[in-house]
Structure 1
Amino acid sequence: MKGFARPETMHPALTMLLLALLVVAGMCIGMFLAVSVVTVTYGVNLLRLPDVLASPSRYSYGWAVLMWLQGLSLLAGFGAGAYFLPVLRGMKPVEYFAPRRPVPAWWLVAAMVLMIVSMPALSGLVAWNADAHLPSWLYDLEKAAREKEDQAQALTAFLTKFSTTTRFLIALLVVAVVPAIAEELTFRGVVLRQFSRWTNSMHWGVWLSAIVFSAIHMQFFGFVPRMLLGVLLGYLFAWSGNILVPMAAHFAQNGFQLLLLFLQQRGTISFDADANEPMSWPLMLISLVLTLGLLYWLQRQFAAHEAATTEAHVLTGHGVQVRAEADVPPAAPPVAGHTLTSHGIETPPKAPSV
């Protein structure tokens, strides 16, 4: 996979096992910190905490407690866990997660636009998956899954009920910013990379990591659209070579939905952003065409940028020749000719005599 050429010696399966251990440890630390904060701030001890979590709407501080728990556990678990993985293996996190840097700022904007443009097209899949049914012999499993997802939906509705602008901004931080950082570091930064190594295929890495990304959310009736979202984020990372690109896209996906809910609750718009109803066919079709077009254009832009930044220009007796870095070993400077750099024409140093 281009841009991720630094060799790794640990087997991908062992790397992901180490990641899982770091995530679990980080979540435990995050939960401890969150419980400490809510205990000091709201007087909620460990004995009362289960009651608050079971019925947060009964407590004036229930919303804040849930936000602390969700934000710190996710950030310390998936965020810090993934971040410290390369550190434990003697690698620099910046080089591990963003080997191709810096990237143009418009890449981040384009990734955000892509996510927003794709929402109408995905609404059809959301509606289809929400109404999907398992075979009759799995009726009990489907019933249990729907009950669990109804509970999760009720909790989500409670967390996204914004009585004030301050609540909206806090939710934007916890529900949009933190997941964009933490989940992208884990699922694109590590899981995608390791599956790509294991299968020797960037495409398999993108799709397998997207499946894991969707499965970890434990929502069967939203599995397919979330998986496709993971695929989009995966290709953005694989093509751009910089984790900031899928982070920006992930933030746009969650943040735009929160913004629609906030505007709806304030009466600014009448659109129900929390419904599982598909949008009109013309709108979904236009969204699909624009999404595919943006994907194609972005892939070409990423490839062009990579080609422009990985070329070596060598001045020889025949003029200026362009050679890709892959064709010229870094440790073997040209023995004949002069290198054309931003400082002008430089003559390669002579090898020391033995």
Structure 2
Amino acid sequence: MQIYKTKAPIASRRSWFLSLIIVLLITVGVMILLQGLGLMLVPPIFNISLDEMLALFTSPSDFPNAKYAMYFVQGLGSGLSFIIASLIIAKLIDKADFGIEQQIDRFKFNGFLILLLIMFGSLLFNSLIIDWNANMHLPESMGKLEEFFKRTEDERMVMTKFLTDFENPFEFVVAVLVIGIFAGVGEELFFRGVVQPKMLIYTQNGHLAVWITAFIFSAIHIQFYGFFPRMLLGAIFGYLYLYSGSLFYPIIAHILNNTFTVVLLYLSKLGKIEFDIDQTGQVSLPYAIIGLFVLLLGMKVFKEKGKKYKLDEELEESL
């Protein structure tokens, strides 16, 4: 059901290794270039000198524009870089067509309502996976590795709390744009729009394509204590695309998932609710099980709705 029409030899199954190497090189190259560009533009835009750049990331609270500068670099180096890398790979390397008209046609309002049900179920069930993953312990022989993972997690959490400690509504809006919209569009265009269809070509199996892509999606975030819940989310996004043939579903689901967390943090800052981002186990086991049931039921209904669409080969012949 995915749409990634290409007949380029480099995109064929027999060229899978070379194709993946090219994807890796282009993506890393674009990310380095855009992050470098972002860092170069920070001094003139945010009035932070080059001498202060290192201190910006080690002691960001010392700079009044630190949050905006970091969101700027993050927006360029992650969200926008994935969009540009996807277009370069698809259009210049694979000579592929995303079939935007078909993807728009396949997006339906009733499908969107089912998507909301799926995301509600995943929110409840994934909280159980988050709690389990956050409290994992490696064998004693891997103690140094576990110590490294925990130290990295603590450092990441300090930065996350700084970036989401909103002082005014404008910081909240910027966070929604960068964390919610930019990340949602960029990562879904790359992982579900490019990588997953390529994995389908290589494996000839939709389920394998979804889970391999979800594994890569989670691994690239380099967060051991959040690996499995992120992989589950990636798989949910992948099935939304596999069953519907429209990237709009996983993009919207990704935006909703990220934005929901940002909204909770902002409401907590305003004192409207109690929410701590580094606390796990906030959903009880019965509710998590209900969430799994809702998730599976929603996916089943979503899959049945998607069966009415033509296969990609039939669509291509009808164009």
TM over 0.5: yes
Q: In the TM superposition, what is the alpha-carbon distance from 1:99 to its structure 2 partner?
A: 5.3
Indicate how the Cα distance of structure 1 residues 91 and 8 shifts in structure 2: closer, same or farther if over 3 A, else same: closer
Instruction: Tell me which residue corresponds to 1:149.
Output: 153
Residue number among 220, 240, 244 corresponding to 1:240 in the alignment: 244
Secondary structure of the corresponding residue to residue 132 of structure 1: coil
Secondary structure of the corresponding residue to residue 126 of structure 1: helix
Q: In the TM superposition, what is the alpha-carbon distance from 1:220 to its structure 2 partner?
A: 0.8
Instruction: Tell me which residue corresponds to 1:343.
Output: none
Indicate how the Cα distance of structure 1 residues 8 and 237 shifts in structure 2: closer, same or farther if over 3 A, else same: farther
Determine if contact 2:6/2:97 at 8 Å carries over to the other structure.
no
After superposition, where does 1:19-34 map in structure 2 within 5 Å? 19-34=23-38
Matched, 1:269 2:273: yes
Instruction: Tell me which residue corresponds to 1:165.
Output: 169
User: In the aligned structure 1, how far is the partner of 2:230 from the partner of 2:63?
Assistant: 32
Determine if contact 1:108/1:249 at 8 Å carries over to the other structure.
no
Matched, 1:228 2:196: no
Secondary structure of the corresponding residue to residue 102 of structure 1: helix
Instruction: Tell me which residue corresponds to 1:258.
Output: 262
Residue 9 of structure 1 aligns with an amino acid whose one-letter code is P
Determine if contact 1:116/1:252 at 8 Å carries over to the other structure.
no
Return the structure number with greater helix share. 2
Indicate how the Cα distance of structure 1 residues 18 and 173 shifts in structure 2: closer, same or farther if over 3 A, else same: same
Residue number among 98, 106, 126 corresponding to 1:122 in the alignment: 126
User: In the aligned structure 2, how far is the partner of 1:205 from the partner of 1:98?
Assistant: 24
Instruction: Tell me which residue corresponds to 2:105.
Output: 102
Determine if contact 1:101/1:242 at 8 Å carries over to the other structure.
yes
Indicate how the Cα distance of structure 1 residues 13 and 101 shifts in structure 2: closer, same or farther if over 3 A, else same: farther
Determine if contact 2:3/2:197 at 8 Å carries over to the other structure.
no
Q: In the TM superposition, what is the alpha-carbon distance from 1:46 to its structure 2 partner?
A: 3.4
Determine if contact 1:134/1:142 at 8 Å carries over to the other structure.
yes
Give TM-score scaled by structure 1 length: 0.82
The answer to which of 105-114 and 157-166 deviates more is 105-114
Residue number among 60, 72, 80 corresponding to 1:76 in the alignment: 80
Structure 1 unmatched runs, 5+: 311-323, 332-354
Higher CA-based Rg: 1
Residues 272-316 of structure 1 deviation map (CA, whole Å, 9 limit, x = unaligned): 454222411221122111111101000101112x05x99xxxxxx
Structure 2 unmatched runs, 5+: none
Instruction: Tell me which residue corresponds to 2:199.
Output: 195
CA RMSD of aligned residues (A): 2.5
After superposition, where does 1:3-14 map in structure 2 within 5 Å? 3-4=3-4, 6-10=6-10, 11-14=15-18
Secondary structure of the corresponding residue to residue 148 of structure 1: helix
User: In the aligned structure 1, how far is the partner of 2:301 from the partner of 2:201?
Assistant: 27
Residue 78 of structure 1 aligns with an amino acid whose one-letter code is F
Determine if contact 1:98/1:241 at 8 Å carries over to the other structure.
no
Determine if contact 1:22/1:77 at 8 Å carries over to the other structure.
no
Determine if contact 1:114/1:249 at 8 Å carries over to the other structure.
no
Determine if contact 1:210/1:230 at 8 Å carries over to the other structure.
yes
Residues 79-101 of structure 1 deviation map (CA, whole Å, 9 limit, x = unaligned): 21012212103635542x77544
Indicate how the Cα distance of structure 1 residues 89 and 293 shifts in structure 2: closer, same or farther if over 3 A, else same: same
User: In the aligned structure 1, how far is the partner of 2:131 from the partner of 2:80?
Assistant: 33
Residues 12-43 of structure 1 deviation map (CA, whole Å, 9 limit, x = unaligned): 32222222222222223322332243211223
Instruction: Tell me which residue corresponds to 1:219.
Output: 223
Higher RCO (CA 8 Å, separation ≥ 6 residues):
2
Determine if contact 1:196/1:204 at 8 Å carries over to the other structure.
yes
Q: In the TM superposition, what is the alpha-carbon distance from 1:4 to its structure 2 partner?
A: 4.7
The answer to which of 173-182 and 11-20 deviates more is 11-20
Q: Kindly, what percent of the aligned residue pairs are identical?
A: 29
User: In the aligned structure 1, how far is the partner of 2:121 from the partner of 2:168?
Assistant: 28
User: In the aligned structure 1, how far is the partner of 2:215 from the partner of 2:180?
Assistant: 21
Q: In the TM superposition, what is the alpha-carbon distance from 1:44 to its structure 2 partner?
A: 2.3
User: In the aligned structure 2, how far is the partner of 1:102 from the partner of 1:37?
Assistant: 40
Instruction: Tell me which residue corresponds to 1:289.
Output: 293
Residues 50-84 of structure 1 deviation map (CA, whole Å, 9 limit, x = unaligned): 11111112211111111111111113322210122
User: In the aligned structure 1, how far is the partner of 2:274 from the partner of 2:80?
Assistant: 37
User: In the aligned structure 2, how far is the partner of 1:111 from the partner of 1:220?
Assistant: 28
Secondary structure of the corresponding residue to residue 276 of structure 1: coil
User: In the aligned structure 1, how far is the partner of 2:101 from the partner of 2:17?
Assistant: 22
The answer to which of 42-51 and 79-88 deviates more is 42-51
Instruction: Tell me which residue corresponds to 1:15.
Output: 19
Residue 19 of structure 1 aligns with an amino acid whose one-letter code is V
The answer to which of 85-94 and 207-216 deviates more is 85-94
Instruction: Give the aligned length.
Output: 314
